[in-house]
Amino acid sequence: MSTILEVSYFLSMISFIVGLKYLSSPQKAKLGNLLAGLGMTLAIIVTVTGSFYGKGFSLNLILLLIAVFAGTVIGKRMADKAEMTRMPQLVSYFNAMGGGCALLLGILEAQQVHGDSNRTAEVVLLTAMMIGATSFSGSIIAYLKLAGKQKDQKTLAVVVLSRIALFSLILIPVFVSYQFLSLTLMQEVCILAGIALLYGIVFVLPIGGADMPVVISLLNSLTGVATALAGIMFHNIIMISGGIFVGSAGVLLTLLMCKAMNRSLWNVLAGKFKGKKAGSGAAAEEMDIKPTSIGEMATNLAFANKIAIIPGYGLAVAQAQHLCAQLENILESKGVEVHYVIHPVAGRMPGHMNVLLAEADVHYDKLKEMEEVNDDMASYDMAIVIGANDVVNPAAEKDADSPIYGMPIIKAYEAKQVVVIKRGMSKGYAGVENSLFGEENCSLLFADAKVALNGIINELKNIA
Ligand code: NAP
């Protein structure tokens, strides 16, 4: 049995590695997801079979099978129902479950350990349990914030409580190890679990609601670390490797998101935007806004040779990706060259726009990275900005006082003509005015992305 277990774990590990590799390419992402899922299924089957082999049907096995079945059905339903714009909520919810598991495993395992146990093993158990508890409560708060049910709480009391909780989590195990504090393992586990749950709450409460994708990615990596530590506790190689993959991928993703926003992780965690207060920059009333109409835009498009479509969060909100693809097709049928220019943090999660456009069967060759196109932006007759704001804001390059100064942007303003499709004059995620809207070559089509695209497509059909 142990050979079968080891070979299966090895195959599962390979599937995780290949799956992760494939996830970095939009064409292979689905296959990667499937492979990693199959690897995980194999790991679960052999672990359960290995644990219950030759023991017949026990209550534990029945409970486990019911739990796996219920978890599969509920998880599948939730994933099927979740809209793309709500994906970060779903991830935070699933992550809370992972953290909760590590917390429960820590508590259960503590009951098995007796007085003469090895302190190093106890510290591993305590660390896994504390990280799991922090990740559990932190993810629940992140979920509530994303769902708009919890506001930011950046009060002094919350910040002080967060520091006290963090120091207690570090100092209590040290004091117990050096016998300055006398606690049984179970007492220590219960006290630390309570403090870690509190820490998760006060850690996430002050962070800006819009920074939640970064926080969720960080908490996700913490859950990975907790799983790896639990794997050490249970001498389970697949838990260790799976946890390490999740932990390291989460850290890399967190840092990539911060880099693409030109903000330090500390800045995000402290809930700060650098520079002036969010909201600085030229006021909308001071800008010369030039509204345009669906008819005017369609006519201009009909005479264009090369078009850049720049999608943003608003496209996802409007669920207008299919219409976007239709617009591309109709323009191409008229001999226009069309590219989608993608900013790495457009939308609300990494790869948001790629996934959205893939849903509408937009060919991957049409998608251009920001860096690929920026130097060539002047060659586009028109840049159509659909529901994007911060990622095309020239203030990031030109206004050293702007909170987003230094963030790489798509240089839409360099195109011969720019049309921004949005519903009104709302600011983007960073809460700053967009100086692009006042540029000479820029006009705004005030409409929901779906309504606007529908109108443009109908007009273009009528233009021979
Ligand atoms: P954005 O700056 O948030 O702007 C979105 C714009 O879409 C808004 O100004 C809004 O204006 C418009 N909009 C909303 N609903 C619309 C609809 N139905 N139809 C048409 N327009 C609509 O979006 P972005 O340019 O994509 O930038 C993303 C931001 O999120 C960046 O600041 C980035 O740093 C941040 N962020 C991204 C990630 C990530 O991983 N992708 C993670 C964390 C943070 P109206 O209300 O006036 O229509």
Pocket probe for ligand 1: among 215, 418, 423, the residue whose CB has the most ligand atoms within 8 Å is 423
Q: Please compute the mean of the pLDDT values over residues 73-80 and round it to a whole number.
A: 92
- Using the mean position of ligand 1's atoms as its centre, give its distance from the Cα of residue 387 in Å: 6
Instruction: Return the ligand 1 atom nearest residue 345 CA.
Output: 41
Q: Which residue has the tokens 């939308």?
A: 347
**Amino acid 315: pLDDT:** 95
Identify the residue with better confidence: 241 or 401: 241
Say what the pTM is: 0.78
Instruction: Give the contacts of 16 (CB within 8 A, at least 6 positions apart).
Output: 36, 39, 40, 241, 242, 245
352 lines ligand 1 (CB under 6 A): yes
- Which residues are part of the catalytic machinery? 390
257 lines ligand 1 (CB under 6 A): yes
Q: Please compute the mean of the pLDDT values over residues 176-203 and round it to a whole number.
A: 93
433 lines ligand 1 (CB under 6 A): no
- Using the mean position of ligand 1's atoms as its centre, give its distance from the Cα of residue 350 in Å: 13
- Using the mean position of ligand 1's atoms as its centre, give its distance from the Cα of residue 428 in Å: 5
Nearest CA to ligand 1 atom 34: 261
Identify the residue with better confidence: 134 or 88: 134
Q: Is the pLDDT of residue 275 over 60?
A: no
**Amino acid 281: pLDDT:** 54
pLDDT in tens, 415-426: 999 999 999 999
- Using the mean position of ligand 1's atoms as its centre, give its distance from the Cα of residue 139 in Å: 23
Q: Is the pLDDT of residue 443 over 90?
A: yes
Q: Which residue has the tokens 């909201």?
A: 279
Tokens linked to 2:
């142990």
Q: Is the pLDDT of residue 54 over 90?
A: no
Pocket probe for ligand 1: among 402, 410, 429, the residue whose CB has the most ligand atoms within 8 Å is 429
Q: What are phi and psi of 410, to 5 degrees?
A: -80, 125
**Amino acid 261: pLDDT:** 77
18 burial type by CB count under 10 A (0-12 exposed, 13-18 middle, 19+ buried): middle
- Using the mean position of ligand 1's atoms as its centre, give its distance from the Cα of residue 311 in Å: 9
Identify the residue with better confidence: 134 or 85: 134
Q: Which residue has the tokens 């195990």?
A: 173
- Using the mean position of ligand 1's atoms as its centre, give its distance from the Cα of residue 43 in Å: 40
437 lines ligand 1 (CB under 6 A): no
CATH of the structural domain 278-463, one choice from 3.40.980.10, 2.40.30.10, 3.40.50.300, 3.40.50.1220: 3.40.50.1220
431 lines ligand 1 (CB under 6 A): no
Secondary structure, 3-state, 214-277: HHHHHHHHHHHHHHHHHHHHCCCHHHHHHHHHHHHHHHHHHHHHHHHCCCCHHHHHCCCCCCCC
**Mean pLDDT estimate for the chain:** 89
**How is the chain split into domains, by residue range?**
1-81, 87-272, 278-463
Q: Is the pLDDT of residue 144 over 60?
A: yes
pLDDT in tens, 211-232: 778 888 999 999 999 999 999 9
**Amino acid 38: pLDDT:** 96
Q: What are phi and psi of 380, to 5 degrees?
A: -85, 130
**Amino acid 214: pLDDT:** 85
88 lines ligand 1 (CB under 6 A): no
Distance, in Å, from the CA atom of 126 to the CA atom of 134, rounded to the nearest integer, reads 12
**Amino acid 195: pLDDT:** 97
- Return the top range by mean pLDDT from 17-21, 113-117, 183-187, 284-288: 17-21
Distance, in Å, from the CA atom of 75 to the CA atom of 73, rounded to the nearest integer, reads 6
Distance, in Å, from the CA atom of 324 to the CA atom of 362, rounded to the nearest integer, reads 9
| Axis-axis angle for helices 119-146, 156-177 (nearest 10) | 160
| Axis-axis angle for helices 29-52, 59-81 (nearest 10) | 170
Q: Please compute the mean of the pLDDT values over residues 291-320 and round it to a whole number.
A: 95
Q: Is the pLDDT of residue 286 over 90?
A: no
270 burial type by CB count under 10 A (0-12 exposed, 13-18 middle, 19+ buried): middle
**Amino acid 273: pLDDT:** 54
The per-residue b/e assignment along 136-155, b for 16 or more CB within 10 angstroms, e otherwise, is: bbbbbbbbbbbeeebebbee
Nearest CA to ligand 1 atom 1: 428
**Amino acid 284: pLDDT:** 62
